[in-house]
Amino acid sequence: MTPGSSRPAVLISRLLPEAAIELARSRSEVDAYTVDAAMPRAELLARLRGKQGLICVISEAIDQALLDACPDLRVVSNVAVGYNNVDVAACTRRGVVVTNTPDVLTDTTADFAWALLMATARRVAEADRYVREGRFRQWEYMLLLGGDVHGKTLGVVGFGRIGRAMARRAQGFGMRVLYQDAVAADAAAERELHATRTDLATLLRESDFVSLHTPLIPETRHLINARSLRTMKKTAYLVNAARGPVVDEAALVRALREGWIAGAGIDVFEDEPKVHPGLIGLPNVVLAPHIASASFETRLKMATLAVENCLAVLEGKTPPTPVNPEVLNRA
Ligand SMILES: NC(=O)c1ccc[n+]([C@@H]2O[C@H](COP(=O)([O-])OP(=O)(O)OC[C@H]3O[C@@H](n4cnc5c(N)ncnc54)[C@H](O)[C@@H]3O)[C@@H](O)[C@H]2O)c1
């Protein structure tokens, strides 16, 4: 609580849609950062001290040092479905609830991953540059030929919410769907999405498009590396709208440069916002600044869900989407 107030104190560490901030203000004392950039770490710690709630984004590292500096904290509400920026085990040990924003971004993220897939195969970014540079002087039969999407094989790595949304889109393109996941989907989902589970090596060998949708965890760091890229078809495309470190970026640069694969569509980078300099000059890669969930509607839904999660915990209720629900069950 802030001195003189019975309402909980919440820090919102990033510029969010006004309607979500207003919702937070209606039930808590809000300190909102009004800049759409990462809050400097020292400022984050200083402003969070004494507060019970934090609504943050993936640029904030929620680690043991932050928890030690902010002992009043009761909830970390991440405005993202992925929470690799949060040390969940440390939060759980300290009784801090962690929440994320699943479901509300699934289709928007899959839409964008699909856009990357299409843009890469059909060379949309190259075509745009070609026209802008004044190079379209006559129609050419062999100009900017790309790969077909319809009728091909899509390999989904990580067959969760977003991975399945990709498989759903593939139905409209008459594609065969392979998937690899740590857990098998139930038979009904496999039937509905015409999807077959394989091991990663088979998926890489047989797919024309490999789309990554796993969380970033130790097991998935550099899941796509030089060896896996060499296993893919020379005509295949890689899409990464999951997390940058799932792909060994230096190996990807070699693969694109030396023709181990045909192209890639990349929304996330190993060391964001830095981009491997080797990627910048390559024509066969489409690059985006981590915007897969960035639609007006979805960014509002994510922020609203994050505020609801935060307020629920601070009001002693069960939040809609907790990551470590075991903390809630403690007395
Ligand atoms: N680019 C973006 O803006 C953006 C937006 C939303 C989500 N994401 C990323 O997408 C990820 C997936 O989101 P989701 O909502 O589909 O999550 P989800 O939990 O529904 O799906 C993840 C799937 O990955 C599987 N998985 C876990 N470990 C694996 C492994 N070692 N090998 C293969 N599969 C494994 C899980 O079993 C699960 O089925 C998020 O964790 C996030 O990092 C990125």
If you write DSSP's letter for every residue of 117-143 in order, what string do you get?
HHHHHTTHHHHHHHHHTT---S--TTT
290 catalytic residue (yes or no): yes
Catalytic member of 243, 249, 270, 308:
243
Instruction: From first to last of the 331 residues of the chain, give the pLDDT tens digit.
Output: 666 678 999 999 999 999 999 999 999 999 999 999 999 999 999 999 999 999 999 999 999 999 999 999 999 999 999 999 999 999 999 999 999 999 999 999 999 999 999 999 999 999 999 999 999 999 999 999 999 999 999 999 999 999 999 999 999 999 999 999 999 999 999 999 999 999 999 999 999 999 999 999 999 999 999 999 999 999 999 999 999 999 999 999 999 999 999 999 999 999 999 999 999 999 999 999 999 999 999 999 999 999 999 999 999 999 999 999 999 987 5
pLDDT for res 2: 61
Q: Note whether 155 and 210 are within 8 A (CB).
A: yes
86 CA distance to ligand 1 middle (Å):
15
Tell whether ligand 1 has an atom less than 6 A from the beta carbon of residue 293: yes
CA torsion through residues 249, 251, 254, 258, sign: negative
213 catalytic residue (yes or no): no
pLDDT for res 5: 74
31 CA distance to ligand 1 middle (Å):
31
pLDDT for res 123: 98
Residues 6 or more apart whose Cβ sits within 8 Å of residue 100: 78, 80, 81, 82, 83, 321, 323
Angle at 211 between CA 283 and CA 62, to 5 degrees: 100
Nearest Cα residue to atom 1 of ligand 1 = 241
Q: From residue 273, give the alpha-carbon distance in Å to each of 190, 249, 251, 277, 288.
A: 36, 13, 19, 12, 11
Whole-structure pTM value: 0.97
Radius of gyration of the chain from its Cα atoms, rounded to whole angstroms = 22
161 catalytic residue (yes or no): no
pLDDT for res 182: 94
CA torsion through residues 294, 299, 301, 303, sign: positive
pLDDT for res 95: 98
pLDDT for res 329: 84
pLDDT for res 285: 98
